[in-house]
Structure 1
Amino acid sequence: MMTDPIEQEQHFVLDARDIAWHLRRWQSETAKCPFKDKLSWDKVWFPQGVESLIRALQDGTKLEPHQAFLIAFLETLKTPQALLNTFAARHRDLYYRQALGLTERPARPDRVAVSMQLAPQWREQLVAAGTLLDGGQDHEHTPQYYALDQDLLANAGQLTDLRWCQPAPNVPGASAGLARVVMSEQQPWPNAGVRLFATQDSEAASTNAEYPIATGRVLSLAALALAGGVRTLTLTFDEAVAVNQLQASVSGRGKWLALNNIDAASEPGTTAVFQLGADAPAFEASPGLDGWPGEGPFLKLLHMSAQPVPAIEKIEIAVSQPADVRFSTDEGLAKLTEKNYPFGQSPVIGSGVYLAAPDWGRWCGKKITMTLMPEWLDLPNVSFEKWYENYGVKLTNESFKIEASRGPQTTKKCSSKPLAIFDTKAGEANLEAPQAKPLEWEFGAPAHALPDSLDPRDGPYLRLELAEHDFLHQAYWTHMMNPPTDGTSQQVWNAPYTPQLKRAQLSYRTTYSLSKADAQFVLTPFGYVHDDDAQPVTARTLFLGFTGLKPGQDLDLWWQLKSPQRQALHWSYLRQDNVWCTLDSQVRDTTEGFSKSGLWHVVLPHDASTTASAMPRGRYWLACRFEDINSLLNDSSKSSDMPWLVGLCANAVTATRISGVDPLRVAGSVTRTVQGLDGIQGVIQRWNSEGGQTPETTSDFYRRAAKRLSHRDRALTWRDIKRLLLDRFPALYEVRVVDTAATQQLVVVPKPGEQDNGDPLKPMLNTTRLKAMQDDILGRASPWLNIELCNPKYRDILVNYTLVFRDGLNPEYGYAQVKKSLSRRYMPWGEAASTHPVTLGDTLDYYQLVAELQQLPWVTSVTDLKIGGGYKSITADGIEVLILKFPEPERATAQAPI
């Protein structure tokens, strides 16, 4: 960047003649005056020559009397000469100070933002305005004190959380919004700060990066506590939904158990079916899971396309192959999965089994439909009518029945008539062998939970007993013990069939019609609310969480910001009923809508709550909604309208320097009050002081006045425009004119750290700041001026190279170090905390780059190098910045080095 001549201190000298000049002039004039016949007067005054006399003066050599007289005479001329040379400065001073009324700027004290730390056991303490803070000593060893600018009612409030959410980009397939946890108990504040609502942040770690907001709902229902088996949930919604986009999970063992969506219908519907296998853990209450209160268990539904999940009207719970069914015959405990005689080895009417399942005890007041599918051993291969034809009793396959009843307090039948145990195929009733059939009963669930016992008879049970006909064991043994004596031919009786189970499959189900009494919650970005309180994310919103604070106490925050523009903000607080109530009329905001660093004050309302479910519990929550919704940026190289939040602190107050002369106190310099205060444990200064300025020197004053007079606050020439921009906008490092006749365009380069985007290699200012600069210039220019301010153009240059490294060096490490070295050399502004600005119009010289690579100590030779796909240098235009891109390098082969 060229130096402005006005920036250099220049002194106008009217008479710059010294004694040597006068002596040479004296010699030239006296040489014209003759002395005697052949001499002139210069031989009298300068017998050894004028230069000899000049050297004698410089060396301090004694002079002849007449020469000393001449020197004394010339010395007397210095006083009027010096007075004459002050004429220009006195004239300038007269014009600047008297005619224009300008003067040097006085010293300006700096201001520091501090946080007061309350001592333990203190609820609050008033720190009065004017209280002195100790800032140490200045460079003259004078105490540097700061006086508080306003009263502060310090308390134990601390900022614990900072989060945000914002609507998703308006593109197909976008999520319901984006959210990020910047600071929490588990996530410390980022050292460099954060740009609000930036979708990509080079400073952000993967642990606190932005993530899509989940849309869904959670159902809390005690009936979901299913111990085991194949569990199937059939949900009926009050509106159609894309069923194949739903994900379901249930709480169990302190985590979420994912269910299988077995409904693959692509069309929207009102019914969804989810299932979990028998080998999965039990559905059970998991208090504290993801912050959910209560016993549960919980059913969580998420929509993969980020659409709202409608309310659940009805849920059918079905269990098959349960693992914890309690089963007993009249003879004792048994298992459904093992062989047993359910009616005994000599069954009679009334013999049977007892059944109970712990799940039934959690379905109080509901109807249970139970299905039993037995697998019988040794069934006759002919019908029972054929099998028992010699018994003298007409029986069919449907003659043997089971009747179900509930016990033990009261015996109540489960159906109006018994159910046939066996099935007969239609059309051949007298020929077909009996077959097992599923048996289904409907009964009311027990009124209370089942006891912890393996014997179903110890609690509510279902009794299944033989009804109407037994299997004629008694008739058979009577016949065998008393054969016929009438002389007729004796008929052979088949042995009666004894029912024996190989195994039996049990399943049961119930249906819940949900009402408002059944808790259904809708997910929010950081919590949940009841169905009626759900609101979509429609605006960028910042959330602040605080602990240690009490309703009715002051909340004083200091916001340390780097902001490109003012924001339209609306503040609110969270109430117990999950309602965000406005705070706008109570907020005192000196940041002027996050346009600059400043104090923010509010009194926490008395109905603020720490237990509302819309946000994580245990904190008081404030929300700041940004009114303007601009298109969301998915590219960190693009500029942002949002401020960069360096940090913020609670119990904040400002103090102004009243003694000492140093204009800056670095962070951590102010740590205590001058006089101890009860209840105040310490003072924390997190950031450097601001606004301090030493008295303006006379040379700086003249330079400032000359710059103002050069353009007179008018934008008439390109030089005026550039100087006005640099003077009025401290964030600018350089302004360059686009040298084309077709446009009136200026390229502005921000200073390091002043950009409005997240890419340090491509710093840019946002359009709002550029527009403000443009309007400022147009307000000082003629109506015919039409200029446009723009950011530099960044040109990506692909640099391919193949290198040979010294023996023993890992190539991956070598290439990584080369990339780092070249980036530091050609793009130094991309380094962390760099003060080097971007370079416009630079040249990437091919042979210089080869030399750079060869001079690296770990590089043996360069076998290939291409810049932008070719073997040539590249020069940027005057408004371009070259950005080196390094693809995956090719590994060196046996080639000759360049």
Structure 2
Amino acid sequence: MANLTSLQAALSSVVPATGFMLDNRTVLSKLQFIEQYAQAIPYPYETDPRPFDSWADFLFMEGNTPEVLAELYRKPRLADGNLQPHQAMLFSMLTMLETPQALMNYFPHAHRDLYYRSLLGLKERAAAPSQVALAVELNQITPELRVPKGTLFSAGQDDNGTKIEYGLDADVFANHSRWRDLRWCYPGVSGSAKCAVVYGDDRDWNEQGVRLFDDIIPTEPVLTGRMLIADAFTQSEGDTTFVITLASVVDSARLTGHISGGDKWLDLSLSTTGSSQTLTFTLPASEGEISPPEALPGAPFDKPVLRIARQDGEPLPLINTVTVNHQQVANFEQVILTPFGYANHAMPSVDNMQLYIGIDDMLPGQTLSLFWQLNSPQPLDTQWQYLNHDNQWHSLEQHVVDFTHGLSGHGVWSVVLPDDASSTVTVMPTGRYWIRAVISPVGASTPGIADYPWLTGILTNGMTATLTNVSALDADRASQPLPAESITQPVTFINGVSGVVQPWRSVDGKAAETHHELAVRAAQRLAHRKRAMTWPDMVMLLKTEFPWVFDALIPSGDILTTVPALTQQILVVLPLVTEKDNDDVLRPMFNAARLERMSLYLQDLASSWQDIRVVNPRYRNVSLAYQVVFKEGVNPNYAEQQLRQSITDHYMPWGVGNATSIVLANHLGYYDILTYIQQQSYVDHVLNLTLNGAEDSVQGVDDEVLVLQWFE
């Protein structure tokens, strides 16, 4: 057996092998071919009287079959010195053939490499450095500090002891600002609106994040109306009556009245009916005692407060007079309700999605740098505003630097807080500087599918930093995310900086492309030529361009061969379970905006005669009902929970993160499910089982995914 190590090393140094072999014959296959060929040649009895029927009997005499000789060729140490001369000659011939075989197998790689590199000019992509989001924290005696672009931060060492360092991507003008509040409002039906406090003094931030404007977040109706503040709002013996005269007629059916009673609002009953300019409210003696508000949201007053409000978005006319138990109140203050406070002037109704960000411990003129860690299905039409000292929302659009591109992805958003920004005005809770994003509502897609971003968190004094020495690190480091909290300090001490925060792991790092990966990429590019002309081309283009797509599936052969032919090319896409736009783990889907983006991408690469659409799978519920007897001594409630979880993991494993298991037109076999349940260790026997009410299997069609649902 020839030693070709040096030859193969020399060839691989020029063009690495990719696994393809032009001549993949082994020593055994060559010997077997020789045997087969020699069996067709009779042995000449007239020259040698030995009993050989063919030359094969002669070449492989004394039990040295091709298998025995191949093993002996591969392991020379097994030789006993008695090998026949002509068999030794076969070994010599096989050894001589190894070098030309190695050269022959090198030729396809060299030819392809010549074509890809010299003719097409392709080469391996370099390693892509990862990025992290950092926040710079200052010590108490440093009010603000510029941390320049390129400042290095230490992230430890790789396995070879090489330092891992990240450099700031831009200057950071750090200060003591802190993100302390997040709220939102959005329009409802018939002029109404809803609001929610998601994060604040009394609400901790969910470290997993929230979906902006998600219906599952508890909301309150947005009230429009007025608050009256006066010492004269006192309580008498028995019921207390309030008579209010308005500047114009209103429909009393839509009004509600409350008066402050310490830490709660006391309900007032309205006796006025129909349209009227005079409203009569009564506080029953049993309702409670009137007193100034104590920590009531939006009512920071030290006198009793009477609130008249409505939920349909319409304003309440000016209040001219107020009487309490037939005594006119001479001095009272009135203010107009806003979603989270009050004002002395009318405010626009909630016609758009409104996102409020509260910041404290900063001053006007300082830079507010926010890093938004979010994942968005689409860009949003966003207008940024701030609350000024006139209690008005004023535009920030000319000053904002927005690398989130309309909250379409994570990035830095920064602005110099205008000099007239105020933290003491009353439209919003005081003690914060307020930034507001006014977002045009997105047309709703399929129910249950998100149209707005998932916000993981916001960093003040935030900026991205990029790995600086990716080429010097070991091969695995570029593709491995840097764990959260790996960076805690700069490489060189910076006077005034007390610490560095890295709450999330790094993103976007990629290892250098290998020769094999280059070959695959080039072959794919040559196959589709950036044209969506065939079904495989469309699938390949879609998965290459959109990393959130796990797979794209084309119709079955039965559909593709129907007559008349299809007038529309429909691809069914499956999202990575981490990239789905809905919260249903068993029915992952993209929202309409992402589907449209993928459709337009393929359409731009296709013929004008094609009509390409990208769609979600159709999930069809299959009702599962059974009666099971559990083994003696097993808690039936616990066993039922375990059984349901086991069935889910087995028949719908994508629900626990295994995206590879999503299959279109899947089959739910009746006897397969019956057997699976019976095989569970805590099940004694199954009394009965039905799928969709029948003892029969269920088969999905081409674009369906069958999902088991328990019949209650």
Residues 38 and 107 of structure 1: CA distance in aligned 2, closer, same or farther (over 3 Å)? same
C-alpha offsets along residues 724-772 of structure 1, whole Å, 9 cap, x if unaligned? 1111111111212234344421111111121222333322212222122
Contact in 2 for aligned 1:253/1:281 (Cα 8 Å): no
Offset of residue 273 of structure 1 = 1.2
1:602 aligns with 2:415: yes
Offset of residue 652 of structure 1 = 0.8
Contact in 1 for aligned 2:239/2:283 (Cα 8 Å): yes
Q: Which residue, out of 614, 618, 621, partners 1:789?
A: 614
Residues 55 and 608 of structure 1: CA distance in aligned 2, closer, same or farther (over 3 Å)? closer
- Secondary structure at the counterpart of residue 77 of structure 1: helix
Consecutive unaligned residues of structure 2, counting only runs of 5 or more, are 1-16
Partner of 2:623: 798
Q: Which residue, out of 764, 769, 773, partners 2:589?
A: 764
Offset of residue 227 of structure 1 = 4.7
Q: Which residue, out of 852, 862, 866, partners 2:690?
A: 866
Offset of residue 118 of structure 1 = 1.7
Aligned residues: 670
Aligned AA (1:751): L
Measure the CA separation in 2 of the matches of 1:192 and 1:287.
Answer: 33
Residues 280 and 746 of structure 1: CA distance in aligned 2, closer, same or farther (over 3 Å)? closer
Partner of 2:346: 533
Residues 805 and 692 of structure 1: CA distance in aligned 2, closer, same or farther (over 3 Å)? same
Alignment of 1:95-106 (within 5 A): 95-106=115-126
Contact in 1 for aligned 2:31/2:70 (Cα 8 Å): no
The worse-fitting range, judged by mean Cα deviation, of 766-775 and 282-291 is 282-291
Measure the CA separation in 2 of the matches of 1:59 and 1:839.
Answer: 48
Residues 277 and 541 of structure 1: CA distance in aligned 2, closer, same or farther (over 3 Å)? closer
Partner of 1:192: 208
Partner of 1:549: 362
Residues 887 and 122 of structure 1: CA distance in aligned 2, closer, same or farther (over 3 Å)? farther
Measure the CA separation in 2 of the matches of 1:120 and 1:539.
Answer: 40
Aligned AA (1:272): L
Residues 545 and 37 of structure 1: CA distance in aligned 2, closer, same or farther (over 3 Å)? same
Measure the CA separation in 2 of the matches of 1:852 and 1:146.
Answer: 52
Measure the CA separation in 1 of the matches of 2:686 and 2:104.
Answer: 67
1:223 aligns with 2:223: no
Consecutive unaligned residues of structure 1, counting only runs of 5 or more, are 1-7, 201-207, 319-508, 889-898
Q: Which residue, out of 362, 373, 386, partners 1:560?
A: 373
Measure the CA separation in 1 of the matches of 2:340 and 2:95.
Answer: 87
Residues 24 and 746 of structure 1: CA distance in aligned 2, closer, same or farther (over 3 Å)? closer
- TM-score with structure 2 setting the length: 0.87
1:853 aligns with 2:677: yes
Q: Which residue, out of 606, 620, 629, partners 2:441?
A: 629
Partner of 2:465: 655
The worse-fitting range, judged by mean Cα deviation, of 820-829 and 160-169 is 820-829
Contact in 1 for aligned 2:367/2:414 (Cα 8 Å): yes
Residues 875 and 668 of structure 1: CA distance in aligned 2, closer, same or farther (over 3 Å)? same
Partner of 1:731: 548
C-alpha offsets along residues 816-840 of structure 1, whole Å, 9 cap, x if unaligned? 4444443333333334x66566432
Offset of residue 877 of structure 1 = 1.3
- TM-score with structure 1 setting the length: 0.70
Measure the CA separation in 2 of the matches of 1:858 and 1:20.
Answer: 54
Alignment of 1:80-159 (within 5 A): 80-159=100-179
The worse-fitting range, judged by mean Cα deviation, of 683-692 and 275-284 is 275-284
1:715 aligns with 2:532: yes
Offset of residue 775 of structure 1 = 1.6
Partner of 2:320: 313
1:775 aligns with 2:600: yes
1:290 aligns with 2:279: no
Contact in 1 for aligned 2:620/2:707 (Cα 8 Å): yes
Measure the CA separation in 1 of the matches of 2:277 and 2:662.
Answer: 59
Offset of residue 285 of structure 1 = 2.4
Contact in 2 for aligned 1:733/1:837 (Cα 8 Å): no
Measure the CA separation in 1 of the matches of 2:312 and 2:57.
Answer: 108
Q: Which residue, out of 861, 881, 892, partners 2:705?
A: 881
Alignment of 1:445-524 (within 5 A): 509-512=326-329, 518-524=332-338
Offset of residue 142 of structure 1 = 1.9
Aligned AA (2:663): T
Contact in 1 for aligned 2:138/2:499 (Cα 8 Å): yes
Contact in 2 for aligned 1:636/1:759 (Cα 8 Å): no
Offset of residue 105 of structure 1 = 0.9
Contact in 2 for aligned 1:313/1:513 (Cα 8 Å): no
Aligned AA (2:307): K
Aligned AA (1:765): F
- Secondary structure at the counterpart of residue 523 of structure 2: helix
Measure the CA separation in 1 of the matches of 2:683 and 2:527.
Answer: 54
Offset of residue 69 of structure 1 = 4.6
Offset of residue 807 of structure 1 = 5.6
Residues 303 and 696 of structure 1: CA distance in aligned 2, closer, same or farther (over 3 Å)? same
Measure the CA separation in 2 of the matches of 1:48 and 1:230.
Answer: 122
Contact in 1 for aligned 2:313/2:349 (Cα 8 Å): no
1:48 aligns with 2:62: yes
Partner of 1:182: 198
Measure the CA separation in 2 of the matches of 1:280 and 1:295.
Answer: 21
Partner of 1:247: 256
Residues 16 and 607 of structure 1: CA distance in aligned 2, closer, same or farther (over 3 Å)? same
Measure the CA separation in 1 of the matches of 2:535 and 2:259.
Answer: 69
Alignment of 1:324-363 (within 5 A): none
Offset of residue 846 of structure 1 = 2.2
Q: Which residue, out of 569, 577, 581, partners 1:744?
A: 569
- Secondary structure at the counterpart of residue 259 of structure 1: strand
Contact in 2 for aligned 1:843/1:875 (Cα 8 Å): yes
C-alpha offsets along residues 80-114 of structure 1, whole Å, 9 cap, x if unaligned? 22212222111111111111111111112111111
